[in-house]
């Protein structure tokens, strides 16, 4: 505002008198007699010009100052409100949100802040849920260990091989809980390293079939592979894909007493689908929405095998998402379950 007002003032002050005198000289050349009144005209012009300039400056400064105040107030008020909300957020109120603004730049800032706040609120909620779930899951093996050790110390329980085997199983269960919790927390926080590369899944699938076939008893389910001899290459981390399949095949083996377990592969560009299909006891339809929740196990799975950590499917779900794929489940009680997930095809 100051530069805008002072610039024409200085320019007019330096040039206006000379220009007006030049115009009077031109008038005399056109037979106008202004010689006796030229100086008086210049003086009057200067007085009128000065008055006009000062009034213009006063009016311009008033209008510019008023508009500046109004615009500054319009900008500062949402900033003050945003400052109060960020203070609430820093104090632990993660539900605080910045309202929308009429100013585009401030509105974009509010949208980005609210998105960040929503992500942080989700992280905090997941942290609390993880602590609650982990505390609940750790309570059972710790109670068993504590009771058994106290009984051994008091002589109320006889030291037998079966007891030590049970304590060893509970200790191993604690180890799995800790490892799976660490793995899942890294995956949810985005810190789990994923080394994407162009890979052929066929050798990996053959090795997994052989590994799990060796674990099955003769009267147990039949494990088979349905895969084209030369499946298309995919972009994935081979170690993480193996981890996903080990979790899915491990669940199928654990909950399938007889029948079959099929590892099926097919291509639907731009994705490659892999399915683990078993003829086990299956799940109820109302249980399916919770399958990928951490620490969740159906009632029948808890009865059949209480030693699982309940996080294998949650980890698999997160790993598939990190590969930009999707994982789905279909199940029918007493008929079997199908888990299938997709991986992007290599270009």
Q: Give per-residue pLDDT as tens, 88-143.
A: 888 888 888 888 888 888 888 888 988 888 888 877 776 777 677 677 667 777 88
Mean pLDDT of 73-89: 85
Distances (CA, A) of 163 to 135, 175, 182: 24, 19, 29
CA–CA separation, 142 vs 167, rounded Å? 10
CA–CA separation, 255 vs 300, rounded Å? 9
Q: What fold characterizes domain 197-344?
A: Heat Shock Protein 90 (3.30.565)
Return the pLDDT at 303. 45
CATH architecture of 104-189: Orthogonal Bundle (1.10)
Banded pLDDT at 7 (limits 50, 70, 90): low
Sequence ranges of the domains in the chain: 2-90, 104-189, 197-344
- Among 187, 197, 140, CA closest to 312: 187
Entry pTM: 0.57
How would you classify residue 212: left for phi > 0, otherwise alpha for psi between -120 and 50, otherwise beta?
alpha
Under DSSP, the state recorded for 164 is H
How would you classify residue 337: left for phi > 0, otherwise alpha for psi between -120 and 50, otherwise beta?
beta
> Residues 124-129: contacts with CB within 8 Å, 24+ apart?
124/94, 126/188, 129/294
Mean pLDDT of 176-201: 79
CA–CA separation, 338 vs 319, rounded Å? 18
């Amino acid at each position: 505002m100051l530069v805008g007002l002072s610039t024409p003032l200085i320019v007019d002050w330096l040039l206006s008198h000379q220009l007006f005198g030049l115009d009077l000289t031109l008038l005399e050349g056109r037979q106008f007699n202004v010689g006796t009144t030229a100086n008086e005209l210049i003086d009057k012009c200067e007085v009128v010009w000065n008055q006009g300039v000062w009034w213009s400056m006063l009016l311009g400064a008033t209008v510019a100052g008023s508009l500046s105040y109004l615009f500054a107030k319009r900008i500062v008020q949402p900033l003050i409100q945003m400052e109060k909300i960020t203070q609430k957020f820093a104090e632990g109120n993660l539900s605080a949100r910045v309202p929308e603004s009429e100013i585009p730049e401030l509105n974009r800032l509010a949208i980005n802040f609210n998105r960040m706040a929503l992500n942080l609120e989700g992280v905090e909620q997941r942290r609390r849920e993880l602590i609650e779930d982990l505390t609940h899951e750790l309570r059972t093996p710790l109670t068993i260990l504590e009771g058994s050790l106290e009984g051994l110390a008091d002589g109320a329980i006889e030291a037998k091989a079966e007891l030590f085997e049970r304590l060893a199983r509970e200790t191993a269960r604690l180890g799995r809980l800790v490892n799976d919790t660490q793995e899942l927390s890294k995956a949810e926080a985005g810190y789990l390293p994923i080394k994407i590369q162009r890979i052929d899944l066929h050798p990996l699938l053959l090795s997994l079939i052989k590994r799990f076939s060796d674990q099955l008893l003769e009267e147990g389910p039949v494990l088979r592979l349905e895969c084209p001899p030369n499946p298309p290459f995919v972009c994935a981390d081979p170690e993480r894909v193996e981890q996903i399949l080990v979790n899915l095949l491990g669940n199928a083996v654990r909950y399938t007493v007889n029948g079959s377990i099929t590892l099926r592969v097919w291509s639907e560009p731009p994705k490659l689908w892999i399915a683990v299909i078993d003829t086990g006891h299956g799940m109820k339809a109302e249980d399916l929405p919770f399958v990928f929740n951490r620490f969740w196990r159906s009632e029948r799975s808890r009865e059949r095998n209480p030693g699982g950590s309940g996080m294998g499917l949650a980890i698999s779900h997160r790993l598939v998402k990190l590969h930009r794929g999707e994982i789905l489940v279909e199940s029918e009680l007493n008929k079997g379950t199908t888990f299938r997930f997709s991986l992007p095809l290599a270009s």
